[in-house]
Amino acid sequence: MTVTITTKPHEKPQTNGDVKRDHAAQVDGAQIRPTYDEGVNPVLETSKWAVEAIGLARPNEDGIRSAAKYIHAQMQRESYAPRTWRTHPLHICPAEPFSWKDPSTHACLNWIFLISSLNFSFWSELEGQHGRYGVEWREGWDSDRMVVHTGYWSLVAAIDRALEDGIPITDPAFYASETRCPDSLIEHVFRPAAQSTEGIPLLHERVRVLREVGVILCSDFGGSFCGFIEAFRRRYEDRGSALQLVKMVADTFPSFRDEHMYDRRRVYIWKRTQILVAEAWAAFYPEHASHPHPLFPAGARIHELTMFADYRVPQILHHLRILSYPPSLVKLLNTRTPLASGSPEELSIRAASIVAVERVRREILRIVADARRSGVDGGGEEDVDEAEDAVSSVVIDFYLWDLAKRVEGRPDGVEGIESAGMLPIHRTRSIWY
C-alpha cells in the first residue's frame, strides 16, 4: 500500500543525515558538544557537573544510605524486576516465545515508541480534584470495568482506546500524515472524560512531535520503530548496548534531545530518550535472565543508563531524603511557582535526581556485595556487566515512580522509613517530561 505523507509546502522532511548534522551544529553559542568514551553516559557526567555548578538541589548521603536499604528490601519483597513491566494491565506486551516475525513484536515496539514520544507534561493544577484531565477506558485490556485514568496513564489509556476503536494511532505512516490523521482526529483520540474540565496539556506540541517522528521513521526506517531497531542492530552488528541505542535515538529525533545550556556548557538529561530504550528493554526482557535479549544479544549493559528525570520521581526522592533542597527552593515548590524549562532551579532538581539515584544504585550494589561475602546470598560468580545490570537505575526508577503513584495524595507518604514532608512537584511545562 502506498502512503502519502503530507508536510507543509515550505518544509522538507528531515532525513537521518540532516538530523545528525543538526545535532552536531546545535551549539547555542557554546563549544561544539564533547564526545564521550564508550560506555560513558553524558547524562550522568554532565549532571554531576551541573549539581556542583548550580549548587541548589543536592544528593543527601545519609538519606541515600537509609533509602537504599529500604528500596532494596522492598524490591526483593515485591519481587520487583524488569519483567514487572509486563504486569501493568494497560501495557501491550509481545508474544512469547519471541520472534521478529510475530506481529506482536512490531505492534509492541510501535506502541512503546508512540507512548515515549508523547510521555510528557501530565501534571495538573486540579490534581486530586474531580475535574482533572482524565481518559475513561477499561481498567486494563483484560477488564470490562470502566475507570477514569489520570496523569501518565491517561496517555496510555487514550492510545489503547483508539486502537480498540480501530484507529491505527501507533502506525507512524498514519500519524505522520495530516491527510489520514488530521489534527482533529488526534484531538478526538485524547478527548477527556465527561467529568474533566480541562483537556490534555500541550496538545499542539504533541501533534507537532507526532508529525516529526512519524516523518523520520517513514523517510529513513521503513515506517516503523521496528525498522529503526533493525538499523541499530545492523550498525552495531547485534552487539549494541542500551546506551548506544539511546544515543542513536537522540541523534535521529530532535524532539528526544532533552539537552540544556548552563554557563555555556551542555547538560544532557535525555528523560524520554532513555525511558524509550528502557521500556523496550523491559518489554522484551527474556523469561530467563540467562537467555540473550533479542534487542541486545551481546548484553544491554542497562546499568549505563540513568534514572528518568521527570517531576514525579524527584518528589519521592526528596520525601525519602535522598535529595536535599535549600529553603529558597522549598519555598518555590510550596508556593507552586512555575519553573522555566532549563532554568537553574529546574535543571538542578533534575540533575541532582540523576546523580542521587546513581548513588542509591551504588549503595545497593555494596549491600548486595556485603551480603554475598557474608554468605547471606548464595549467588555464584557473575560477569561484571551482569552483576551491575542486576541493580540498575532503570529498575530503581521504575520502582520509585510506582511508589510515588501509590502514595500520591497520602498525607504521611511512605511508611517504614524516616522521611521528609511531601513537597509539591515542581511545575514545568515542556515536551521533555
Which residues are catalytic, by number? 310
Query: What's the burial of 15, exposed, middle or buried (CB within 10 Å: 0-12/13-18/19+)?
Result: middle
- Cα 8 → chain centroid: 30
Query: How far apart are the C-alpha atoms of 177 and 163, rounded to whole Å?
Result: 17
Angle of helix 225-235 relative to helix 103-117, nearest 10 degrees, comes to 100
Which helix H or strand E contains 260, and what residues bound it?
Answer: strand 259-262
284 in Cβ contact with 242 (< 8 Å)? no
Helices (H), 190-270: 203-220, 225-235, 242-252
Let me know how long the chain is: 433
Query: How far apart are the C-alpha atoms of 398 and 312, rounded to whole Å?
Result: 11
Cell readout for 410 is 497520602
Query: How far apart are the C-alpha atoms of 343 and 345, rounded to whole Å?
Result: 6
Amino acid occupying residue 329: L
Contacts of 103 (CB under 8 A, 6+ apart): none
Count of other CB atoms within 10 angstroms of residue 86? 15
Angle of helix 242-252 relative to helix 271-283, nearest 10 degrees, comes to 130
Query: How far apart are the C-alpha atoms of 230 and 295, rounded to whole Å?
Result: 9
Count of other CB atoms within 10 angstroms of residue 294? 18
